[in-house]
Amino acid sequence: MAEAYVNGQAVPRDQAIAAAARLLASATLPVIAGLAADAAGIRSGLQLARAIGAVVDHAHGAVLSREAEVLARMGSMATTAQEVRRIGDVLLLAGLGDAAEAARLLDYLSQGAPKRIVSLGPAPEANAAVALPAEGEHAIAGALALLRAACAERLGKPPADYRAAADLLRGAKFGAAIYAPALLGAPAIEMVLGLASDLNAGHRFSTVALPAPANGEAAMQICGWLFGVPLRSRWIDGHARHDPWRFDARRLVEAREADAALWIGPIEEPPAWLRRVPAVVLAGRGFAPDKMPEVAISVGRPGVDHPGVLYQLATRALSLVPASRPTALPTSADNVAAIQAALPAKGSGA
Amino acid sequence: MIHLKGGYLVDPVNRLDGPGDLWIEGGRIVAPPPGGLATENVDCTGCVVMAGAIDIHSHIGGGNVNTARLLLPEEHPAALRRPSETALSRIGFDVETTGRLYAEMGFTTVIEPAMMPSNGLHAHLELADIPIIDKGALVVLGNEDFLLGLLRARESRSVVRDYVSYMVESTGALGVKVINAGASAAFKANARSFALDDEVPGYGVSSRRIVLALQQAVDELGIPHPLHIHCNNLGVPGNSDTALATMEAASGRPAHLAHIQFYGYGREGRRGFSSAAARVAEEVNRRKDVTVDIGQIMFGQTVTISCDTLRQFTARNFSRPRKWVINETDFNGGGIVPYRYSSSDFYNVVQWAVGLELFLLIDDPWRVFFTTDHPNGAPFTDYPEIFALLMDRRARNDAIAKLPKRAIAMTGLASIGREYTLAEIAIMTRAAPARLLGLADRGHLGRGARADIAVYRRRDDKAEMFRRTVATIKGGAVVVRDGKVIAAPEGKALVVKPGAGTAISRRMERYYEETFGLSPQFFHVDPAALGRAEPFVEVPCRS
């Protein structure tokens, strides 16, 4: 990818910035999506959204929203992977699946204190003490409910494997349920959190969630402090409005409610549905779709081309990640700021 | 040059308590120019002029505050069909409103008292987005495996000192706070209560030892702000014993006890809950090396935010609405529990009275600080009402008259006649905080002082007077005019750099690699990561 394209033609960056600003400023309902960037890139996107009244959503907004809704409904009890590695003695793998991130997390956890494992889900962990097979979102939610009831002794005579699992969980000194919100429905997530909370009546138990990819947790946090509400929100008349259905970027595009989009995506390229709307795409150098969006601008990848603040799996916190192969490519934040500076004056509706 | 003309200056540091003008240039208060010409005039006729206020303990940024935002979207104005007042809209639950609301009340420096090291970068990014006001953060130590391991091994005090210094510098802190020392670690081992002489299971280290080790390290490093102590047993009936025992333990070196209202409780009466404010105040009056802030509660909906995970876990059963978060980390972690203080609730009314009693019974305004432990006791936007309760006995008696007599009778509040003077308010909210934090150029109106200034219209209704300034000046720029923000420059973060040793740095590298497979760099706050020109201002340590 060259530096920048407008309507598929390579142009100088300034020209693409100006075209991007025109496209976004003339829209009735712009969306700023992706936000698959470092903290600075996310922040710049949210600030631009405040200025032009754009909807904000993340590349993994569906998962993030599910987690946010569960949080707002019931709260949560959670800990960090690093602490489970150090002191965790019992793990409940709750519908974890066998994705690479899950394997990486389990490998990380296994290097600390020895652990006994209850594995609930479609692909039981090989060295699990107890395996509770369940496949599919609903079966997993049901199995979790059964396990929770067994732990709370609400079942007269639980199935033997559930009794064994409950005994193991209830005997934990510091246990943790490990789950991937992307693989569970909201009822199952609530069941994991409720189970962990219940177990604390006797011993200590908590949870660790696999974070959403593409710096999604960082996007949620930054939206929290700049907008005061979770992602899938819009700044209107000096107030943030939050509605996880109404401000779902994909729905807005597919329903043709949105008439322009900015995808900030050095970490993750735009999905196919973005092609349905006139779009500005900020992407890493490898971006080469079949059909170029209206405006495409190449940006540095955080942690590769330039240092960037990224959410960390082990610590559940933001850290500065140095550049692994530094280049002079401008950052997402630089480009978004340039677009905001190039907006016509009337665009500042905040 | 800005000319503040015809005001009434109140500055106890420079013994100003009368009519006078101020001149501002280059961000500083300067001598009157020979010609007397200014480019900008602020008419201060009928106004009281003070230094910008400094809030030493207000949870305005960092992971836990944000979790509260995400836990309570329905309390945000966004949840209403048409934006208007909701319970938490008063707090300004996004960073921009936080800065604006503080500036409109004449506050120009605010300290976030609970920055967990693991959240240091998050906290600084969030604080940097709060406009206008300058910020500082206290780093929370005292529950982490590394420090407890040092104490268990009875390592020398210089090692502990190096560790504290390393953590302060690495996280960009202005000082150190300890929160229920050892209790979060004990909670991980299934403790459900934790007192000063309880030992953390597996370490054989008592809460007392942790507090004293940190207090000594902070003092010896010359960090201006003494160790900021959140004692054990917060909120527990009879816990004035804990406050007194902590003061006794910490005597001989400076110590700051946070939100002391939450430790002002006795066990008298049918419900076993009463005010012990007089006893606590007497002890504070006697011990000259102790400072306290109050943590006043006010009635209404709020959300409690604390790194005291053990206490917040217990408090979860009182959550209103019924939801709560407990996040645990290698450090303290955090607990977020929404709560509603009710003026018809016996316990809440006693708490309200205890806070006011402590304000009024502690004689020395240099050693008692004005806080609500925002948002734990009340949102900071309730400050004007609290000024009125302190300055106006009639307003206080009117408020008392509306509350259940049975609760008020368990306190001594009704018999106290004291009214705070303007000069005492200026000490408590300006001069004393500046001294406590080592900010020599703030909290007063002398020549050379930083031009952080608040101008209030003089009124009988003190709540009205302190709700909005006529003008707020921050760093020499007029940022508020007639109660409205007109400019929102970026504030800075105040940090200390006590000088960290390299030996401890190597040792921590090894510990973090072996224990967590991580580098301690993960919590290092690199100013470059904040994306701003010179985000930090260094506050000198005592030499």
Q: What is the pLDDT of residues B316-336, one digit of tens each?
A: 999 999 999 999 999 999 999
- With both helix axes pointing from N to C terminus, report the angle between B157-171 and B207-220 in degrees, rounded to the nearest 10: 70
Instruction: Give chain A's domain count.
Output: 2
Burial of A179 (0-12, 13-18, 19+ CB in 10 A): buried
B526 to chain A: closest CA residue? A320
Nearest C-alpha neighbor of A229 from the set B44, B73, B307: B73
Partners of residue B531 in chain A, C-beta under 8 Å: 40, 43, 333
Distance separating alpha carbons of residues A21 and A7, to the nearest angstrom? 14
Residues A244 and A234: beta-carbon distance below 8 Å: no
Closest among B21, B80, B17, B3 to B424, alpha carbons compared = B17
The reply to whether A320 touches chain B by the CB within 8 Å rule is yes
- Do the Cβ atoms of A227 and B327 come within 8 Å? no
Query: What number of other Cβ atoms are within 10 A of residue B533's Cβ?
Result: 7
Task: Give the CATH number of the domain where residue A25 resides.
Answer: 3.40.50.740
CATH at residue A181:
3.40.228.10
Residue among B66, B77, B526 whose CB faces A239 most closely: B77
CA distance to A120, A187, B439, per residue, from A193 (Å): 15, 10, 45
Question: Which of A62-71, B68-77, B86-95 bottoms out in mean pLDDT, i.e. has the lowest?
Answer: B86-95
Q: Looking at the structure, do residues A18 and A71 belong to the same domain, yes or no?
A: no
Q: Do A319 and B522 touch (CB under 8 A)?
A: yes
Phi-psi domain of B23 (left: phi exceeds 0; alpha: psi -120 through 50; beta: other): beta
Q: What is the pLDDT of residues B434-475, one digit of tens each?
A: 999 999 999 999 999 999 999 999 999 999 999 999 999 999
Is the domain of A54 the same as that of A71?
no
Query: Looking at chain A, which runs of residues are DSSP E strands?
Result: 4-6, 9-10, 30-33, 55-56, 75-79, 90-94, 116-121, 130-133, 174-179, 204-209, 233-236, 239-242, 260-265, 279-283, 295-298, 308-312, 317-321
Q: What is the pTM of this model?
A: 0.97
Q: How far is CA B418 from the centre of its chain?
A: 24
Last residue of a domain, one of A176, A193, A209: A209
Q: Which residue of B has its CA nearest to A112?
A: B515
Confidence bin at B93 (pLDDT 50/70/90) = confident
Interface test with B, best of A319, A332, A336 (most B CBs within 10 A): A319
pLDDT for position B74: 78
Residue A218 and residue A229: Cα distance in Å, rounded? 14
pLDDT score at B314: 96
Average pLDDT for consecutive 10-residue bins of chain A (350 residues)?
A: 91 98 98 98 98 97 97 97 98 90 95 96 90 94 97 94 98 98 95 98 97 97 95 90 95 98 98 98 94 97 98 96 97 98 69
Which of B126, B328, B512 to substitute to test the interface with A, most A CBs within 10 Å?
A: B328
Among all residues of chain B, which has the CA nearest to that of A44? B531
- Quick: pLDDT tens for B133-172: 999 999 999 999 999 999 999 999 999 999 999 999 999 9
Best residue in B64, B65, B70, B327 for a mutation probing chain A (most A CBs within 10 Å): B70
One domain for residues A203 and A249 = no
Describe the crossing of helices A160-170 and A137-151 by its angle, rounded to 10 degrees. 60
Per CATH, the homologous superfamily of domain B49-494 is Metal-dependent hydrolases (3.20.20.140)
The gap between the terminal CA atoms of chain A, to the nearest Å, is: 34
Q: Are residues A205 and A218 in the same domain?
A: no
What is the model's pLDDT at position A299? 98
A82–B516 C-beta distance less than 8 A: yes
Q: How far is CA B272 from the centre of its chain?
A: 29
pLDDT at residue B81, as a whole number: 53
Does A198 touch chain B if contact means CB atoms closer than 8 Å? no
Which of B319, B325, B330 shows the shortest C-beta gap to A80? B330
Q: Tell me the two tokens of residue A159.
A: 């199935």
The nearest CA of chain B is from the CA of A52 a distance in Å of 17
d(CA B78, CA A280): 28
What is the residue whose two structure tokens read 């732990």? A151
Q: Is residue A266 helix, strand or coil?
A: coil
Looking at the fold, whether A108 and A144 belong to one and the same domain comes out as yes
How many interchain CB pairs under 8 A, A with B? 161
Residue B525 has pLDDT above 60, yes or no: yes
Nearest CB to B76: which of A228, A312, A314?
A: A228
Dump the DSSP string for A173-218. SEEEEEE-GGGS-HHHHHHHHHHHHHHTTTSEEEEEEPPPTTTHHH
Residue B96 with chain A: CB contacts under 8 Å: 226
- The answer to whether the CB of B112 falls within 8 A of the CB of B122 is no
For position B431, what pLDDT does the model report?
98
CB contact under 8 Å between B78 and A242, yes or no, is yes
Residue in this structure with the two tokens 């007077």, named with its chain if needed? B465
With vertex at residue A103, the alpha carbon angle to CA A102 and CA A107, rounded to the nearest 5 degrees, is 120
DSSP code per residue over A305-338: TB-EEEEETTTTEEEEEPPSS---PPPHHHHHHH
A17 shares its domain with A78: no
End-of-domain residue from the set A155, A190, A209: A209
* Beta-carbon separation of B323 and A111 below 8 A: no
Q: How many CB atoms lie within 10 A of CB A116?
A: 16
- Selecting from B66, B129, B328 the residue whose C-beta is nearest the C-beta of A79 gives B328
Closest by Cα among A27, A25, A47 to A35: A47
Query: Rounded CA gap, A219 and A211, in Å?
Result: 12
* pLDDT tens digits, B99-141: 999 999 999 999 999 999 999 999 999 999 999 999 999 999 9
Residue A162: strand pairing partners: none
CB atoms under 10 Å from CB of B72, counted, come to 25
Tokens matching residue A262: 């900015």
- Whether residues A70 and A56 share a domain: the answer is no
From A209, A240, A272, give the residue that closes a domain. A209
The residues spanned by each domain of chain B are 49-494
Task: Residue A309: give the domain boundaries.
Answer: 4-60+214-347
Q: Which of B71, B188, B516 has the CB atom closest to A75's CB atom?
A: B71
Inter-chain touch B526–A320, beta carbons under 8 Å: yes
How far apart (Å, rounded) are the C-alpha atoms in residues B538 and B159? 24
Residue B90: predicted pLDDT = 57
Which residues in chain B are closer than 8 Å to A222, comparing Cβ atoms? Answer: 125
Q: What is the mean pLDDT of chain B?
A: 95
Beta bridge partners of A77: B326
* Amino acid letter, residue B258: A
A225: nearest CB among B66, B73, B76: B66
Q: Could you tell me the pLDDT band of residue B89, with boundaries at 50, 70 and 90?
A: low
Are A183 and A316 part of one and the same domain? no
With an 8 Å Cβ cutoff, are B330 and A86 in contact?
A: yes
Q: How far is A323 from chain B (nearest CA, A)?
A: 12
Contacts of A64 in chain B (CB under 8 A): none
- Cβ distance of B190 and A241 shorter than 8 Å: no
In chain A, residues 113-142 whose CB comes closer than 8 Å to chain B = none
Residues A134 and A199 in one domain: yes
Measured CA to CA, the distance from residue A239 to residue A43 in angstroms comes to: 17
Which chain A residue's Cα is nearest to B63? A221
Whether the Cβ atoms of residue B262 and residue B234 lie closer than 8 Å to each other: yes
For residue A14, what are the CA distances in angstroms to A27, A283, A322, B39?
20, 16, 28, 39
A 234-273 residues inside an 8 A Cβ radius of B: 237-242
> Contacts of residue B313 in chain A, CB cutoff 8 Å?
200
* Alpha-carbon gap, residue A274 to A277, rounded angstroms: 6
How confident is the model over B189-200, as a mean pLDDT? 98
Both tokens of B356, joined, read 């006011």
**Gap between the Cα atoms of B503 and A314, Å rounded:** 26
- Alpha-carbon distance of B471 to B456, in angstroms, equals 7
What are B138's strand-pairing partners? B175
Whether A322 and chain B come into contact, CB under 8 Å, resolves to: no
Do the chains contact at B125 and A222, CB–CB below 8 Å?
Answer: yes
CB contact A108 to B (< 8 Å): yes
Q: What ipTM did this prediction achieve?
A: 0.96
The whole-angstrom separation of Cα B305 and Cα B112 is: 12
Please give the structure tokens belonging to residue B2: 């800005």
Residues 6 or more apart whose CB falls under 8 angstroms from that of B421 comprise B391
Q: What is the Cα–Cα distance from A302 to A282, expressed in whole angstroms?
A: 13
**Closest residue by Cα to residue B260 from B183, B387, B355:** B355
Measured in whole angstroms, the distance separating CA A203 from the mean position of its chain's CA atoms is 31
Same domain, A165 and A267: no
Residues A187, A294 share a domain = no
